[in-house]
Structure 1
């Protein structure tokens, strides 16, 4: 059980959530998107939100700015969050501009707001759960896409609720966060996506 709970934190790592949102959108949208465009977007997002942050992590580790991949202290997470904000801005400007795919533009805008909020909390020595921020943001976006395109994803929503609970349990079990840090992370991830629905639904 101990290994299972630890593995959940790695399987559902927050770095995967933006890419998961993009893949989910392309798998559910009824709009025609040329396969070449779809693959280009997925490839770009994979490089910018997954490969680049991992490479930058090892660079930061080499120069002793971070110690662990989970960014266990408040001080460790400030610079990575700032760098991630810059990466998200780059995605919004160059990869997913508003006149291209509005749903994904506002999804990443919500991610940017959540990331900046998490960075601001880190500045005041509060460690909101980045795992909960990422998974809650994706959860809200998935529900919004289902409503927007009028598709039934009740099974997916139920599964995501279970996954959210499993992630929270895993983080508590690993003593990575307190309950208030998990709840704060949930709200920080969920609320920007919910507020931005007014601009694209």
Structure 2
């Protein structure tokens, strides 16, 4: 889950900030264990850190708005963490399938917590006619501030502990090499989210340059 606070552009008539919340699947090996994290000590916290590995960017097309009053079906943490985002809380069908499988429940169990965007297929529909997508222009390609469009927002985690670092040394046995934990590996990772907005006014940063 990633939450972003986006400041308004006062010169373009936005006096308020907006909060968006993206709920998506993180592989278990994306972060180090809580035990290793509890032992992590950071020296010189004001130092600008450089990650050891750049994991690139992952693209996500968000197909649902998550209804917070029913979000406990997916996770009990969503309501509290995404409360400020409200209706601007999003997820995608691919990950809904993964979570349902992990819980051993039908994917349709999540349906009360999800509202499909007009641009997304109705994965729960039984009628093929109801499963047609409605095309939407990218927000970067329209000048109409009140038009519906597909917004893009990139969020990057510039530096975070992503794994354990292992070093090699000589063991007590002759001619053998011993591998031992000797630190924390750090990474950089970006996520590009595409999602539906009812007005370009909600996505002023997404413009062609």
TM-score interval for Structure 1 and Structure 2 normalised by the shorter chain: under 0.3
TM-score for both structures, normalised by structure 2: 0.24
Higher strand share: 2
TM-score by length of structure 1 reads 0.25
Query: Higher Cα Rg: structure 1 or 2?
Result: 2
Larger relative helix fraction: 1
Say which structure, 1 or 2, has more relative contact order (CA 8 Å, 6+ apart).
Answer: 1
